[in-house]
Structure 1
């Protein structure tokens, strides 16, 4: 099944590549007609771009190839958005007095401008976060303060693309919210720990002015080194563990769904006092029914990115009961973030980099 799906995607990718490449060549001929050497250079550059993302994943940690591959994915996506409209415009120019070569030349420039604008918008959506706030009530009594202010961020994917500046923005935005508690439900780094450490991300996260609790996600590999780096900052990583905070509520952090030996949620829930609020960090937003049946009051998750690039949200909306935002299911409150970072390419369309603020009110 996976082989068939892979083969289909391989064919589709190369058909789209052929379409983009043909359009590029038609436009280049209006600028440099008659130079055969340009054709060979163009084909070579196009092939290098086409496979740069895959080579970058293979050469794990190669900064230049990774960056080229990441930006190529954005160019590929935006070209697919713009070129059909450009082709339609050139076709309609047949019914005007504008020469076809002139129409192709100027529509090429317009297409490049449109791609540049979309690319800038995608970068803005990815690197400039927004704060989204939710207010919920948990009908359980706690001692002391009857309100809990939580800042939550998921899927930072810190590494080559989401680097130290993006980490600084995260810390500044979280501290500005003045939370009582910070939750990171997974994908703190992006597969490779070397850029994560090399860019001093742990030291930057140490500047958060509130207690930080985290669980790990499917991209948080090299668990031993990562756990050591995170815990050196004072962060508490809950790896299939439960902890009581201030004798007021219980936090449970699960291993990622793909990790071996992950405990079943009922086993973890037994460690919590059901008369007090129970908050669960689970990277992938599954098993809402099980969480509700086992006394979980608030579940925070990420993973979906809400598709990251439109129309990806159409697929994540079908895959997950809650792929983004707030959903209440009986006594269970769920909040799923579209993520603070990004994967593959540093652009977002139809989604936005976000930090989530959750104001929890308890029964007085």
Structure 2
């Protein structure tokens, strides 16, 4: 079944690559020498396979960076080119010459592409602070209010590196959090860039009264022992909750789940068994599934990431269909669900229709 899905996806991707490359060639093919045709074909093959090669092979930095930018351009062209082709077809009904229309369309595509990349890059690398206020009808003997700062989906790697990590620490500390929570995808599939760039040293600069707690996401992967992976992350002065629960200051309980793709993930009912439900229960779960189960198990606040809010529109329409809450705030009975669009990005360092963000949650405890 998985092989069939993979072959189907590969065929569809190849057809879309052909459509994009053929469209671009029709714009410039008549103005170039014949030898350039073969160079162009080789370049398209290199670019279209670079993303896959960068993800499959560890340490292939050039392919990882090249593939990320290729996917950005590829996705944007898939959005722009169909509109341009429809406009060109309509222009045939006018007296405008076909060559003039085609040249103008090429310039429009180029200008749109450059503008979108600049705009999307700004959205990816310039996160904003998004604020929420949540009331939980449970007493907290330590304080009536809890200032939570959350960031997810940093995807620290080749393109989300030291500067992005320093920006994260600076913005978090400026919010003076009581506790900092990372609901997964701290690393972008490969642990080595995280170690080589010294991201752990940078993250250790986060200051919070109760410290930093995190769970792992579907991209927090490691081919060796998971204990080593967790040890490396915890060198950044954070505590990884790996299907674990911890009560903070005898006031509220944090529950951190393994990611949904982990076959050894325990059911939520097992994790909450024996926990004092009179205290506020906060759940970290990377993928925002099973809100009804979280509500049934007495969770007060569930924090997630994973969706990126689609990252590049109109993918947000897909995430909206897949998840009951794909971004923002949703209350389901006594459960409060907050999903962040993420601090970083996956693949292309581009965000269109979404924005990198840090989330600040003011939790009010009521008697």
Whole-Å separation in 1 of the counterparts to 2:42 and 2:248: 58
Find the counterpart in structure 1 of residue 3 from structure 2. 3
Find the counterpart in structure 2 of residue 51 from structure 1. 49
2:67 aligned with 1:64, yes or no?
Answer: no
Task: Write the deviation string for residues 198-226 of structure 1: whole angstroms up to 9, x where unpaired.
Answer: 11111111111111011111111223232
Choose which of 158, 163, 166 in structure 1 pairs with 2:164: 166
Query: Does the Cα contact within 8 Å between 2:309 and 2:341 map onto a contact in 1?
Result: yes
Find the counterpart in structure 1 of residue 21 from structure 2. 21
Whole-Å separation in 1 of the counterparts to 2:176 and 2:291: 29
Find the counterpart in structure 2 of residue 156 from structure 1. 154
TM normalised by structure 2 equals 0.94
Whole-Å separation in 1 of the counterparts to 2:23 and 2:267: 53
List runs of 5+ in structure 1 lacking aligned partners: none
Task: Write the deviation string for residues 75-98 of structure 1: whole angstroms up to 9, x where unpaired.
Answer: 111111222233233334434444
Query: Does the Cα contact within 8 Å between 1:242 and 1:253 map onto a contact in 2?
Result: yes
Whole-Å separation in 2 of the counterparts to 1:25 and 1:19: 10
2:215 aligned with 1:212, yes or no?
Answer: no
Query: Does the Cα contact within 8 Å between 2:257 and 2:284 map onto a contact in 1?
Result: yes
Choose which of 252, 256, 281 in structure 2 pairs with 1:249: 252
Q: CA deviation at 1:136?
A: 0.7
Task: Write the deviation string for residues 173-215 of structure 1: whole angstroms up to 9, x where unpaired.
Answer: 1111111110001111011000011111111111111110111
What is the correspondence of 1:167-206 to structure 2 with a 5 Å cutoff?
167-206=165-204
Find the counterpart in structure 1 of residue 80 from structure 2. 82
SS at match of 2:138: strand
Whole-Å separation in 1 of the counterparts to 2:136 and 2:35: 69
SS at match of 1:141: coil
Deviates more, 1:118-127 or 1:262-271: 262-271
SS at match of 1:166: helix
List runs of 5+ in structure 2 lacking aligned partners: none
SS at match of 1:221: coil
Query: Does the Cα contact within 8 Å between 1:30 and 1:104 map onto a contact in 2?
Result: no
Whole-Å separation in 2 of the counterparts to 1:173 and 1:44: 44
Query: Cα gap change, 1:331/1:96 in structure 2, threshold over 3 Å: closer, same or farther?
Result: closer
Choose which of 221, 226, 236 in structure 1 pairs with 2:229: 226
Q: CA deviation at 1:144?
A: 3.2
- State the superposition RMSD in angstroms: 1.6
Whole-Å separation in 2 of the counterparts to 1:128 and 1:271: 43
Query: Cα gap change, 1:40/1:272 in structure 2, threshold over 3 Å: closer, same or farther?
Result: same
Whole-Å separation in 2 of the counterparts to 1:83 and 1:140: 54
Deviates more, 1:223-232 or 1:212-221: 223-232
How many residue pairs align between the two structures?
Answer: 362
Q: CA deviation at 1:243?
A: 1.0
SS at match of 1:140: coil
Query: Does the Cα contact within 8 Å between 2:280 and 2:300 map onto a contact in 1?
Result: yes
Find the counterpart in structure 2 of residue 36 from structure 1. 34
Query: Does the Cα contact within 8 Å between 1:30 and 1:105 map onto a contact in 2?
Result: no
Q: CA deviation at 1:4?
A: 3.3
Query: Does the Cα contact within 8 Å between 2:199 and 2:236 map onto a contact in 1?
Result: no
